[in-house]
Amino acid sequence: MATVSSIGCAMICRFHIFFGSRYDACITEQVPSNTGSIILMLNMCSWMALYTRLCIVTGIKVGPVKLIHEQPYLTYQLGTSWNLTVLECPVILEKNEVLGEVEWKFSDGNVERGNFFWKKGAGGTATGLLKDAVKLNRVDGNLEFTTLRYDLAGYYSCVATLENDIYGGNPDWELLIVDTTANSRYESLSPTGERCKFISTFRISPTFPEPTVHSGLYSKKHGSFADEVEPIEWIKQVYSNKSVAYSSEEVEFEITSSIPVDVVFMNTVGVTKADGTYIALTATEVSDPRFNARGCPEYKLKAYQQIEYNSPDKTCRDEIRIPADWGFKGHSDLSRRLRFSGKPRIPGTSLQHEHVGVEYGTGTLVYVRGRSIWRFRSHRHKQFPSSDSLHDSVSSPSAVIL
């Protein structure tokens, strides 16, 4: 059996194999002297060439593919330009290395849809869906789109070749081409007439690719929706060009004690890549005082005590609503003692809840903190009492709480 050296030749097959992502391999075979074996080897390499190209030899760093300026997607709204609608095939060159060729591959994830071949000094050639869609005479081998179409969205990879025949490549990268030019949306949020209940309607115009939509009560602290339109509640309409419109009609929401106090009503529209990466497009939010209103729990007295609240109104979290104006502004000593300086303490941010009220019959000012009650002498006097006159009166008669 003759070796490569005895027949003066060697056969080297270098190829790429793609299984979703790209893997590189090299095969070097010593060719026997008999003709049948040579023909067998030639046939094997010819068959490989139908599915692969020359393998990548280590020594050149290429990729990953990315949009110029680190853009997450291309958009119809900005159109095309030489410094905007460009896919880059980054190549890290060492000293004295010169880029000679770049080959781009475009697929829909399963089927190859186009190619672009670029050679230094000769420009490029495009095939498939890339024909008449990319610039041919760039000097850097990057892929510049001269038009935007829905069918140009998909998976792109590139292989770069140095002048010394060393290769480098990278995995497929998903390019999104987003069309929101219809740019029409309708948002409505209104009370139902029932306490703490709201009705929401949200509609967006056709968008490509299919948008990811959310609508509901969003907590910024938790970074999530506390309550939102369910998937079954969305109305989806698919158009012939594969753009999609969504709407949710008169969906009811209710603020309850289980809803975080920092919620706003938010509508979001985005797009999601095949790997699950979410890219936000727009977000709008609406706030309502009822979403965040806090009060105090009802004060529970002993059997011989009774408090009648000036207003039976409660917050959506079933707490006694705090009056907007406490009516005791401007007295420094009282302000220090009650610690609100003309403004009510914000329940939920302090250790104890507070009420200020007037005792039945006597008109005595009372201060309720936690489960304790203090009484002042009559608020009818122009001068409020000093802190020394404050005393505990947990057995005080019934009082009106403002």
CA 290 – CA 309 distance, rounded (Å): 20
Structure-block tokens of residue 283: 């977000």
pLDDT above 50: residue 203: yes
Domain boundary among 291, 311, 326: 291
Do 320 and 230 fall within a single domain?
no
Q: Is residue 56 part of a domain?
A: no
Do 359 and 376 fall within a single domain?
yes
Structure-block tokens of residue 268: 């979001």
In Å, how far from its chain's centre is CA 113?
30
Count up the domains in the chain and report the number: 4
Q: Which of 121, 96, 106 is nearest to 159 (CA)?
A: 106
- 3-class SS of residue 237: strand
Do 173 and 72 fall within a single domain?
yes
> Of all helices (H) and strands (E), which one includes residue 160?
strand 154-162
Q: Given this model, what pLDDT does residue 167 score?
A: 85
Q: Given this model, what pLDDT does residue 367 score?
A: 63
- 3-class SS of residue 19: strand
Where residue 210 sits, what CATH number does that domain have?
2.60.40.10
C-alpha triplet 166, 170, 176: angle, nearest 5°: 145
Weakest mean pLDDT among 86-90, 175-179, 353-357: 353-357
Question: What is the mean predicted confidence (pLDDT) over 130-155?
Answer: 96
> Between residues 27 and 159, which one has the greater pLDDT?
159
pLDDT above 90: residue 189: yes
Do 343 and 372 fall within a single domain?
yes
The CA distances from residue 396 to 276, 326, 340, 378, in Å, are 63, 21, 23, 14
Q: Given this model, what pLDDT does residue 393 score?
A: 33
Weakest mean pLDDT among 181-195, 200-214, 275-289: 181-195
216 in the Ramachandran plot: left (φ > 0), alpha (ψ -120 to 50) or beta? Answer: left
Q: Given this model, what pLDDT does residue 315 score?
A: 85
- 3-class SS of residue 291: helix
CA 334 – CA 388 distance, rounded (Å): 11
Strands annotated E in 220-353:
224-228, 235-238, 244-254, 263-272, 278-286, 295-296, 307-309, 320-321
Q: What band does 166 get if pLDDT is binned at 50, 70 and 90?
A: confident
Do 339 and 393 fall within a single domain?
yes
Weakest mean pLDDT among 278-282, 284-288, 335-339: 335-339
pTM above 0.85, yes or no: no
Do 311 and 343 fall within a single domain?
yes
Q: Is residue 391 part of a domain?
A: yes
Do 193 and 168 fall within a single domain?
no
Question: What is the mean predicted confidence (pLDDT) over 229-253?
Answer: 96
C-alpha triplet 32, 38, 41: angle, nearest 5°: 105
pLDDT in tens, 286-332: 999 889 887 766 666 666 556 666 556 788 888 776 554 444 333 33
CA 133 – CA 348 distance, rounded (Å): 60
Structure-block tokens of residue 335: 């302000």
Question: What is the mean predicted confidence (pLDDT) over 17-40?
Answer: 36
Q: Given this model, what pLDDT does residue 366 score?
A: 62
Q: Given this model, what pLDDT does residue 122 score?
A: 93
**To which residue do tokens 């115009």 refer?**
205
> Of all helices (H) and strands (E), which one includes residue 48?
helix 35-51
Domain boundary among 138, 157, 178: 178
Question: What is the mean predicted confidence (pLDDT) over 100-112?
Answer: 95
Question: What is the mean predicted confidence (pLDDT) over 224-250?
Answer: 96
Rounded mean pLDDT of the chain?
A: 74
Weakest mean pLDDT among 93-97, 103-107, 306-310: 306-310
Do 273 and 300 fall within a single domain?
no
Structure-block tokens of residue 250: 């008169």
Question: What is the mean predicted confidence (pLDDT) over 255-278?
Answer: 95
Do 361 and 300 fall within a single domain?
yes
Domain boundary among 291, 317, 341: 291
Q: Given this model, what pLDDT does residue 328 score?
A: 39
Q: What band does 49 get if pLDDT is binned at 50, 70 and 90?
A: very low
- 3-class SS of residue 339: coil
* Secondary structure letter of residue 76 according to DSSP: G
Do 222 and 272 fall within a single domain?
yes
Q: What band does 272 get if pLDDT is binned at 50, 70 and 90?
A: very high
Backbone phi, then psi, for 358, in 5-degree steps? -125, 135
CA 42 – CA 40 distance, rounded (Å): 5
Domain interval for residue 118 = 61-178
